[in-house]
Structure 1
Amino acid sequence: MQTLRAIIFDKDGTLFNFHATWAAWAADFLTDLSGGDTNRAQFLGDQLGFDMASQTYAPDSPVIAGTPEEIASHLLPHLPGMSAAHLVLHMNEAAACAPMKEAAPLIPLLDTLKARGLALGVATNDGEHPARAHLQSAGIETRFDFIAGCDSGFGAKPAPGQLQAFARHVSLPPSQITMVGDSRHDLLAGRAAGMTTIGVLTGLALAEDLHDLADAILPDIGHLPGWLDGAST
């Protein structure tokens, strides 16, 4: 394996713990969307593979790796009179205010990686505006050399466009970059881009869901420095 000189991260489930961040947010969002009607909120939750009572996602929920447009497509048939554009805008505005729960202490970790001379990026299927709001709220937006959302003009994962754009931005071959993510979408994008792939278990996927696409699987991104030390020997 070539020396790794850059890392591109997924956001939700990777930089931030998926369930700790998005379960309570989904319950609040669906309650608001249903006008406080608990039965209707649960019905809308069913369309997204989200259980309001337990505040848990099904493993195949479109929220896990889908774009806002893909998520909205599951709700729109049940929201007469609402346009896709309005629902996506409402979703992005609400998501930008979600309280993010770090998967590991991010500032010291990212500073450690930067001190090693690594270029850092983010590729998310979230919109770029809420993604930047989340990174800014955690005090880490400026640590990244590149940030792309599904609406940044490079497509969405599992297609490799965002990752290829990062490689161009930092002027490195994909073989010197690793993609870190919590879903098969992330790792498929990494493989398609020709990058090393690392799975983390701070999303909803289990190790067995990721093992065929991952060069390594870590409990969380806090283990990256140790993995990098081992990979360089």
Structure 2
Amino acid sequence: MGKVEPREIGGILFDKDGTLIDFNRTWFGITMELAGLAAGGDDARARQLIEAGGYDWEMKKFRGGSVVAAGTINDIVDLWHPELSLEEKRRLIREYDDYTVKEGSSRAVGIDGLQATLEALAAQGYVLGIATNDSEAGARATATALGLSHLFSVIIGYDSVLRAKPYADQLHLFAEKTGLPPRKIAMVGDNAHDLEMAHAAGAGLAIGVLSGNSTLDDLAHLSDVILGSIAELPAFFAKRSDG
């Protein structure tokens, strides 16, 4: 992937959790509830499952790149229920997906300045989209609950494509639906798999944000640009008109 100038970008594709949504404030309680169900009400076992999923009890946050922070519901079910048959796992995935669509949207906490940032980028002429390892239904429900659906031209979940992040499929689907070539698309995310997808798909820019679970060290080698949060994007992309 070759870095392009901001003025060459026409579309911005966002990861959802940790990038648009405050990950820990939105998902810790939900994940604890699912772990409690998986553990049959055993609190100690539930804490073990949460820790296996990537929660750092000292830091009080999920680690960047961990199964809960970066994986799909399929990955969580595989981790927590390795003993189940394939059909049993499929049933549980459907149940977990239904639960997270409802709870994830109703409890979603946006990153500071979320709506103003997206409105500013739309006013600057960018085509906006979401690409998440949550389900498409979950992403749509969250966007609707936060009153943001009208700002996104395309919303893509792990189940919208054959292969979830870090594969290129989600960004390529965004390109297909918008008519923008990948090199005119910027991918914005808080986890390595977001930026790995950008590279795999030939995106114009891979932009890391530190608003989620990853550190500067986690993202530096994969990012063309690292920002504190998406709130810095309108000023960054204003450079498009400078040249």
Within the alignment, does 1:228 sit opposite 2:233 as a pair?
no
Mapped contact 2:166–2:194 kept (Cα < 8 A): yes
Within the alignment, does 1:186 sit opposite 2:194 as a pair?
yes
Alpha-carbon shift at residue 49 of structure 1 (Å): 2.7
Quick check: 81-90 or 130-139, which moved more?
Answer: 81-90
How many matched pairs? 233
Question: Distance in 2 between the 1:206 and 1:56 partners?
Answer: 12
2:133 counterpart (101, 125, 128) = 125
Q: Name the residue aligned to 1:135.
A: 143
Question: Distance in 1 between the 2:218 and 2:58 partners?
Answer: 26
Mapped contact 1:14–1:103 kept (Cα < 8 A): yes
Q: 1:13 to 1:92 in 2, by over 3 A?
A: same
Alpha-carbon shift at residue 61 of structure 1 (Å): 2.3
Mapped contact 2:165–2:194 kept (Cα < 8 A): yes
Alpha-carbon shift at residue 59 of structure 1 (Å): 4.2
Question: Distance in 2 between the 1:4 and 1:184 partners?
Answer: 21
Q: Name the residue aligned to 1:64.
A: 69
Cα RMSD of the aligned pairs, angstroms, is 2.2
**CA offset digits 1:24-79 (Å, max 9, x no partner):** 22122222333432122123223323367975324452111111111110011266
Within the alignment, does 1:202 sit opposite 2:211 as a pair?
yes
Mapped contact 1:24–1:55 kept (Cα < 8 A): no
Mapped contact 2:188–2:209 kept (Cα < 8 A): yes
Q: Name the residue aligned to 1:30.
A: 35
Q: 1:154 to 1:82 in 2, by over 3 A?
A: closer
Q: 1:47 to 1:82 in 2, by over 3 A?
A: farther
Question: Distance in 1 between the 2:200 and 2:132 partners?
Answer: 16
Question: Distance in 2 between the 1:118 and 1:53 partners?
Answer: 40
Alpha-carbon shift at residue 81 of structure 1 (Å): 11
Unaligned runs of 5+ in 2: none
2:94 counterpart (89, 102, 116) = 89
**Superposition misfits of 4+ residues, deviation over 6 angstroms:** 79-82
Q: Name the residue aligned to 1:45.
A: 50
Q: Name the residue aligned to 1:17.
A: 22
Q: Higher helix fraction: Structure 1 or Structure 2?
A: 2
Question: Distance in 2 between the 1:152 and 1:229 partners?
Answer: 32
Unaligned runs of 5+ in 1: none
Q: Which has the higher contact order (CA 8 A, sep 6+)?
A: 2
**CA offset digits 1:178-199 (Å, max 9, x no partner):** 0000011000101111111100
**CA offset digits 1:121-165 (Å, max 9, x no partner):** 111111111111111111112211111111113421110111011
Q: Give the TM-score, by structure 2 length.
A: 0.88
Question: Distance in 2 between the 1:60 and 1:189 partners?
Answer: 13
Identity level (%): 36
SS in 2 for 1:13: coil
Question: Distance in 2 between the 1:18 and 1:155 partners?
Answer: 23
Q: 1:189 to 1:59 in 2, by over 3 A?
A: closer
Mapped contact 1:23–1:55 kept (Cα < 8 A): no
Question: Distance in 2 between the 1:58 and 1:166 partners?
Answer: 28
1:74 counterpart (70, 79, 101) = 79
Matched AA of 2:212: G
